[in-house]
Amino acid sequence: MKIKFSANGGSASGGNGQEINIKRIGILTGGGDCAGHNAVIIGLLRRIGQANNTLPADEKMELIGLLEGWKSLTRDPEQELDKIIFPLHLTEIEDCFTSAGTILKSSRTNLFSKANIEAKLPEKAMANVKKLNLDCLVVLGGDDTLGAAGKLGQQFTFPMFGAPKTMDNDVYGTEMTYGFESSVEESVHFIQNCRTTAESHNRCFVIEVMGRHAGWVALWAGIAGGAEVTLLPEEIVDMDKVIKQVEKSIKLKQHCIVVVSEGARLFDTRYPEAINKHHQEMLNTVIADPKYAIVKAYYEMPKKKDSFGNEQLGGIGEYVKAILEKHTKIEYRYQNCGHAIRGGEAHVMDRILGLRYGDAIFGFMKAGTFGVYPGLEADKIVARNLLEVKGGRFVPQDHQLFAMRNAIEYF
């Protein structure tokens, strides 16, 4: 497909008005998997197939799947082509958009880590792009993956596109990322399953769900699942208040559900000093008790970080459950949804949103606008600059749902 292109923000510009022939389009998925990746691929494939019906032979396009995200472009095409290329034919994979995960597999490879910059991995990646005869690249991922696409496109004046995914729903420039709705649906199902046992045995369940810096999953799932208490990364967690809420729920209902976002914390520099100090005292009584040896071991364990510098989270629910158990006379159970809410079936909203984003990427391509990713704004698709992508779309404390997050407060 021959087009004249202009770059949004200069991130992929080779000169406005330059005509290029887009024939081989590379596509990869980076970061954590989630529902909607496959839908974006199918949405783009559909438009390519439709366009090929009328294009002359020398302009027909093909979509080339690249395996394991950015890792694919660090391999040698002459020696490991089978580990790089995944053929994408609509007739063979047309139903994959109903499944979560990614048929292209993924990795958390950071081309722009200090070590990889020194090893000239960005240069190697672009050299491999040329060896694969790719005319442009479509990158599906969160802010880390999309940010790398923006940097690479700018550094090497290469046409780039992106699509915003993350189950956390925290990517700048879009009201909704694909992967979010399915993770909420799966979390709600998990919460409801735990509730039947909580009601049957007069227990309190502490349920941890994913959400690194933004608590959208916990917020939506907690409210939709009827949680009595929901703890978010965006709020100041006060365990004395949580204890009172749990005790109130047990007194009135004989059961309780506490939903905790994995990014919620007991300590924070923005917390009042008195709360930090009191939480430490509470935790000290827990880790001093041999009954909580696992909690102590986790507390003392060095925290790992991924290649983007993100700390490996998980376990705050264990702390919350242990403190509640230590300071109340209630029976507790701790459950972590973990990666289960990422996988399985892609729910309707993520199927539709992924297909829309794939369709929109082709529209940007056809219009000759590179260096962009689609965002959702008032149910319309808008082009966002890859150089401006970032995370940190937090739950604002003046949001209607923020005030609705603790069902026990209505009793």
Q: Render pLDDT for 134-148 as a digit per residue (tens, 0 to 9).
A: 999 999 999 999 999
Residues labelled as active-site residues: 168
pTM: 0.91
Greatest Cα-to-Cα distance within the chain, rounded to the nearest angstrom? 75
Q: Would you say 389 and 173 are in contact if contact means Cβ atoms under 8 Å apart? A: yes
Looking at residue 274, its pLDDT comes to 97
- The parts of the chain modelled with pLDDT lower than 70 are 5-17, 303-314
Q: d(Cα 277, Cα 266) in Å, to the nearest integer? A: 10
Burial 117-150 (b: 16+ CB within 10 A, else e): eeeebbebbbebbeebebbbbbbbbbbbbbbbbb
pLDDT at residue number 14: 41
Q: What are the DSSP calls for 32-67, one per residue?
A: S--TTHHHHHHHHHHHHHHHHTTS-GGG--EEEEET
Q: Burial-class residue 35 by CB neighbours within 10 Å (0-12, 13-18, 19+).
A: buried
Give pLDDT, residue 131. Answer: 96
Q: How far is CA 315 from the centre of its chain?
A: 19
Please write the tens of the pLDDT for every residue from 82-118: 999 999 999 999 999 999 999 999 998 999 999 999 9
Q: Name all domains of the chain by residue range, CATH numbers in brackets.
A: 2-178+346-388 (3.40.50.450), 183-342 (3.40.50.460)
Give the per-residue pLDDT at 305. 62
Which of left, alpha, beta for 190 (phi over 0: left; psi -120 to 50: alpha)? alpha
230-255 pLDDT per residue, tens: 999 999 999 999 999 999 999 999 99
Sequence letter at residue 336 = N
pLDDT of residue 170: 93
Give the per-residue pLDDT at 338: 85
What's the pLDDT score for residue 306?
Answer: 58
Residue type for position 387: L
Return the pLDDT at 11. 41
**Token output for 374:** 């689609």
Beta carbons within 10 angstroms of residue 311's beta carbon: 10
- The amino acid present at 258, given as its one-letter code, is V
Assign 207 to helix, strand or coil: strand
